[in-house]
Amino acid sequence: MLSSLLRQAHLLPTNKTSRHSCQVINGLISVASLRFGEMLRLLKGAPLALCLRLGVLHLSVVLVCLSVASGQALTRVPEADSRYKMDILLVVAHPDDEGAATPYLARAIDEGKRVAVAYGTRGSSGENQAGTENAAALGEIREIEARDALATLGIDKAWFLGGTDTASQDVLQSLANWGHGKTLENLVRLVRLTRPEVILTFLPGTFIGENHGDHQAAGVLATEAFDLAGDPTVFPEQVAAPLRRLEPYFENLRPWQPKKIYYFSDADKEDIFEGKGPRYSVKDISQSTKQAYWRAALESFRRHETQAKDFIDSLAHMDEAQIEKMATTDFWTNGIFFVLGKSLVGGRTTGDIFEGIAPGTIPFARPQIASVEAKPAICVELAGPWSFYAEFRRAHGLLHLPHPEPPEIALQGGTTLVIPIWLHNETTAPQEFTFSLSLPSGWTTQSNTARLTVGAKQTGAARVEVNLPLVSDSAAQKPGLQEVSVRAEADGQRVGIIKLKVELHKRALPE
Ligand SMILES: [Zn+2]
């Protein structure tokens, strides 16, 4: 009788195929049944209602027996902390970077979405416009400013991944400076903790624009975390269940596969992002505040006084129309756009970020790695962040991500352009490469030609250094792309040409 009651409640197997998974329950039920066997025998012929009541009683005793049998005082299996379940995890580099997405975040929060933010650094470098504190002390202040800025939007979950600021455009330097492995481990942990439906982050790529290496590093790490957090073999100690009370090592998180990842960019030119993802007007009116979303974003940005006090003070001297024009043309432009990186749940490329997303888990999706393009046995390629990104897009199934071709970079006049080069020799004999350089007028180098030998089955690294001219005031007014090219020959045959478009500015981050 008890067995049939439990079967009705789907607690006991009804056929052989489901027997294996229920062996533990069966065992516990038989332990409990020994104690209640006598009582059940007494119930022969009793009314059904009484039997049902005793069935429920028996079930609760089974659960108590389960606790006793496992030797712990558990009466239920605890669930993950629902206060940390998010819809959006924003991954950026520095305090104030969230401003690139705040007009959209304000909209998403209006729609009931839960948002958390992960920062790569605490932003301890740069000048302090609000006080005298510098370096690590400035970082302490900027963490508070970032939390205050998020609080204006209703976001109270933010984490700092422990990196420090890197003054460079090179994503590889930022990853090295942050401690790539440790930071990735932290971010995978946060993805498993916050279980976001969507990750939003900077577009990993080299563009003319702010192009901060730290911004790119945030995008690289977020992409890696998107592809790894659902894999139980990645940082398995994070997903291991506790072995004892007050478990000191295992984190008892669960693998989590986010459903979509979108990117935003601080590139100067936006044309190559057109049609690659959704666009949201910053002028749309919030249902909850009855104000345009740019206002919520600007209100949030005002908290970053150490970074922007001069700008914030200037707002006091502007009328409403001027502030709106500034916010919707210079600051955010009208449309805040995203580039769809991946969706594992369908939806249109330019559709809403949450299109196709339903609550609940989805299976871990190993990234679709594109096959390696066959290279000639002897060839050269632009190295550094450019060759990294080519491999990165391939390894993460992101070949569709927009990137400038030929590659581009903005540099400060009067500094040095370094062109890193891989020299591949897959033949069985040493190979001599001959290089010739073509430069815009006024750009100089030690020698426009060079010869280098690479051993059999080896890849060599070389670099060309170019002295850049100072930028005149008139040239700074209308900067333009100029092309540098490096031709490579071996045995009198061309084996490659490397092109790089360079724009000279009065000020720019080091390469
Ligand atoms: Zn930044």
At 121-176, the pLDDT tens digits run: 999 999 999 999 999 999 999 999 999 999 999 999 999 999 999 999 999 999 99
- Report whether the peptide linkage leading into residue 406 is cis, meaning its omega lies within 30 degrees of zero: yes
Task: Reduce the DSSP state of residue 119 to 3 states and report it.
Answer: strand
Q: Rounded to 5 degrees, what are φ and ψ at 492?
A: 75, 0
Q: Ligand 1 centre from 380 Cα, in Å?
A: 33
Instruction: Take residue 103 and report the two structure tokens written for it.
Output: 């007009």
Quote the pLDDT of residue 72: 56
Quote the pLDDT of residue 73: 59
Quote the pLDDT of residue 477: 80
Q: Ligand 1 centre from 126 Cα, in Å?
A: 11
Q: Ligand 1 centre from 215 Cα, in Å?
A: 6
Q: Ligand 1 centre from 260 Cα, in Å?
A: 23
Q: Ligand 1 centre from 29 Cα, in Å?
A: 59
Arithmetic mean of pLDDT over the chain: 87
For 5-23, write each residue's pLDDT tens digit: 333 333 333 333 333 333 3
pLDDT: which is higher, 34 or 244: 244
Q: Ligand 1 centre from 296 Cα, in Å?
A: 20
Q: How much of the chain is helix, strand and coil, in % rounded to 5?
A: 35, 20, 40
Quote the pLDDT of residue 170: 97
The two most distant CA atoms of the chain are separated, in Å, by: 105
Q: Ligand 1 centre from 237 Cα, in Å?
A: 32
Q: Ligand 1 centre from 167 Cα, in Å?
A: 11
**Measured distance CA(273)–CA(395) in Å, rounded:** 21
Q: Ligand 1 centre from 95 Cα, in Å?
A: 7
Query: How confident is residue 475, by pLDDT bands cut at 50, 70 and 90?
Result: confident
Q: Ligand 1 centre from 136 Cα, in Å?
A: 17
Q: Ligand 1 centre from 291 Cα, in Å?
A: 27
| Range scoring the smallest mean pLDDT among 25-29, 126-130, 485-489 | 25-29
Query: In what order do the strands lie in the sheet containing 431-438?
Result: 408-412, 493-505, 481-490, 431-438, 449-454
Q: Ligand 1 centre from 123 Cα, in Å?
A: 8
Quote the pLDDT of residue 11: 34
Ranges of H-type helices in 179-266: 180-194, 213-228, 236-239
Task: Name the β-bridge partners of 279.
Answer: 337
**Measured distance CA(60)–CA(57) in Å, rounded:** 5
Q: Ligand 1 centre from 400 Cα, in Å?
A: 25
Q: Ligand 1 centre from 118 Cα, in Å?
A: 13
**Residue count of the chain:** 511
Q: Ligand 1 centre from 282 Cα, in Å?
A: 21
Q: Ligand 1 centre from 410 Cα, in Å?
A: 17
Q: Ligand 1 centre from 313 Cα, in Å?
A: 21
Q: Ligand 1 centre from 97 Cα, in Å?
A: 5
Q: Are 426 and 409 in contact (CB under 8 A)?
A: no
Q: Ligand 1 centre from 255 Cα, in Å?
A: 30
**Measured distance CA(341)–CA(122) in Å, rounded:** 26
| Percent of the chain with pLDDT strictly greater than 70 | 85
Q: Ligand 1 centre from 318 Cα, in Å?
A: 26
Quote the pLDDT of residue 329: 86
Q: Ligand 1 centre from 212 Cα, in Å?
A: 7
Q: Ligand 1 centre from 181 Cα, in Å?
A: 21
Q: Ligand 1 centre from 86 Cα, in Å?
A: 23
Q: Are 165 and 125 in contact (CB under 8 A)?
A: yes
pLDDT: which is higher, 240 or 75: 240
Quote the pLDDT of residue 159: 98
Containing H/E element for 307? helix 305-315
For 316-373, write each residue's pLDDT tens digit: 999 999 999 999 988 887 789 999 999 999 999 999 999 999 999 999 999 888 888 8
For 385-432, write each residue's pLDDT tens digit: 999 999 999 999 999 999 999 999 999 999 999 999 999 999 999 999
Quote the pLDDT of residue 48: 45
